[in-house]
Amino acid sequence: MTRDIWRSFDFWLLGAVAVLTVFGIAMIRSAMAGNEELLAIFSRQILFAVAGFVVLIATAWLDYRLWRTISRVLYVIVAVALAIITVAGAAQGGAARWLNLGFILIQPSELAKIVMILILADFFARNQYKEHNLRWIARSLIPTMGMVIPILLQPDLSTSITVMVIWFALLWASGLQLKHLVAFGIGGILLAGIGFPFLEDYQQQRVINFLFPDPNARYGEIYNVNQALVTIGSGGWFGQGYEQASQVQLRFLKVRHTDFIFSAMSAEFGFVGAAVVLILLGFVIWRCLHAASIAHDTYGALICYGVATFIFFHTIVNVGMNLNLIPVTGLPLPFISYGGSSLLSLMLGIGLVESVVLRHKALEF
């Protein structure tokens, strides 16, 4: 790759991702609140962050169009890994989502999000001039469901929904007709009602607790949400200071380094600090969308759009869950929450966006 091409590298995007990742590591350290059982996760997140930036640069160096030739192979590999998990996966939190490789736990469903972006971007790019009818929709849905079903069997409803959101976003970007959009809306409501009885007990309980909360509950998901709201409120405008938030350091807030790290962050840095982080995440999403707008081809544009959708959906769901605006889910806050597989998949996605940018022209801020 020539020096001229590297001049097109989006350093604004890289810088925002770097700031968010470093801040996330710092927040994880604070959220441990002196718990010795969590000490190892701090070091692991640093290692994953370093590995993630290596993945980002390496992915940016590769021509994104090369992924078209291996995306189907990756799809099969991830699908097989998900199938293996249903038989011999490492269970955590009541679900088998991890492959134990001896020295590390890997969550294939995180990689599945990026693989589906590549698969669907390729499909819609190859069929962009064909009639956008029900057959076109059904053909794109087949590989999507091939990934969604094994993820549901783990069970992992939130990741399954994420994959479906990515599919719908790319479908919309590729020219979904309005009449089909209405049908999707009606079908989605019916599917939610029909599918509810088939959810796992804890998944049903999360929805019930959200719709009909018990104000006297002192344990479970309701307790976690109530503590999250108290924690957020305790931060005020400017927060109590790093490692000074009482709700966090006294460990009233649970799963504070993963699902509820937004609450911990709000307590320590207040409304202003939380707003700055959300603005940075919005900036990352905007740079991805801007990359899509200047992409050399439809395939590259859809990749960037898919990555932007991925980050946006994770952000609004995690923040909404912390604010009790939606039921509790397991989706992490991008670049901030603890999770090696999640961070690596995000870095891979950003690397793909950078690869698209590198092969077009210099970005103008």
Q: What is the reported pLDDT for 96? A: 56
Q: Is residue 89 part of a domain?
A: no
pLDDT value at residue 355: 95
- Residue 86 lies inside a defined structural domain of this protein: no
Task: Find where tokens 């603005």 sit.
Answer: 279
Residue 248: predicted pLDDT: 87
Looking at residue 1, its pLDDT comes to: 47
Give the global pTM. Answer: 0.89
Residue 363's pLDDT is: 44
Give CA angle at 330 (326, 336), nearest 5°.
100
**Two structure tokens written together for 63:** 């021509």
Residue 217: inside a domain, yes or no?
yes
Give the pLDDT of residue 38.
76
Residues with Cβ within 8 Å of 20's Cβ and at least 6 positions away in sequence, in order, are 277, 280, 281, 284, 334, 335, 336
pLDDT of residue 364: 46
| pLDDT, position 291 | 95
Tokens representing residue 196 in the block? 């509810």
d(CA 352, CA 59): 6
If you search the block for the tokens 């057959």, which residue do you land on?
A: 135
Structural domain of 7: 3-71+108-358
Helix (H), strand (E) at residue 140: helix 134-152
Instruction: Tell me how long the chain is.
Output: 365
139 domain-assigned? yes
In contact, 163 and 147? CB cutoff 8 Å:
yes
pLDDT of residue 119: 97
pLDDT of residue 99: 65
- Digits of tens for pLDDT over the chain (365 positions)? 455 567 778 899 999 999 999 999 999 999 887 777 777 888 899 999 999 999 999 999 999 999 999 999 999 999 988 888 776 655 455 455 666 665 566 788 899 999 999 999 999 999 988 888 889 999 999 999 999 988 888 778 889 999 999 999 999 999 887 777 777 777 777 776 776 665 666 666 777 766 667 666 666 667 888 889 999 999 899 999 998 988 888 888 888 888 899 999 999 999 999 999 999 999 999 999 999 999 989 999 999 999 999 999 999 999 999 998 988 888 899 999 998 889 999 999 999 999 999 987 644 44
Cα separation, 239 vs 244, whole angstroms: 9
Question: According to the model, what pLDDT value does residue 100 have?
Answer: 61
Which residue type does 175 have? G
**Inter-residue contact 271 to 235 (CB < 8 Å):** yes
Instruction: Say which amino acid occupies 4.
Output: D
What element of type H or E holds 60?
A: helix 39-61
Give the tens place of pLDDT for each residue, 193-217: 776 665 666 666 777 766 667 666 6
Residues 30 and 294: beta-carbon distance below 8 Å: no
Query: Is 234 exposed, middle or buried, given 0-12, 13-18 or 19+ CB atoms closer than 10 A?
Result: buried
Residue carrying structure tokens 């649970």: 254
Q: Determine the Cα–Cα distance for residues 85 and 82; give it in Å rounded to an integer.
A: 5
For the chain, the domain total comes to 1
In a domain, 365, yes or no: no
Domain contains 286:
yes
Q: Residue 88: inside a domain, yes or no?
A: no
Residue 338 located in a structural domain? yes
